[in-house]
Amino acid sequence: MAMLDRSVKWWSMLLLSGMMVVGVIIECVFAHIMGRIYYQDILQAEVEPFC
The full set of domain ranges for the chain reads: 19-51
Q: What is the 3-state secondary structure (H, E, C) of the chain?
A: CHHHHHHHHHHHHHHHHHHHHHHHHHHHHHHHHCCCCCCCCCCHHHHHHHC
User: Which pLDDT tens digit goes with each residue over 2-21?
Assistant: 777 888 899 999 999 999 99
pTM over 0.85: no
Give residues with Cβ within 8 angstroms of 11, minimum separation 6.
none
Top-confidence residue, 26 or 40: 26
Predicted local confidence at residue 24, as pLDDT: 86
What pLDDT is attached to residue 5? Answer: 83
Compute the distance between CA of residue 36 and CA of residue 29 in angstroms, rounded to an integer. 10
Percent of the chain whose pLDDT exceeds 90: 25
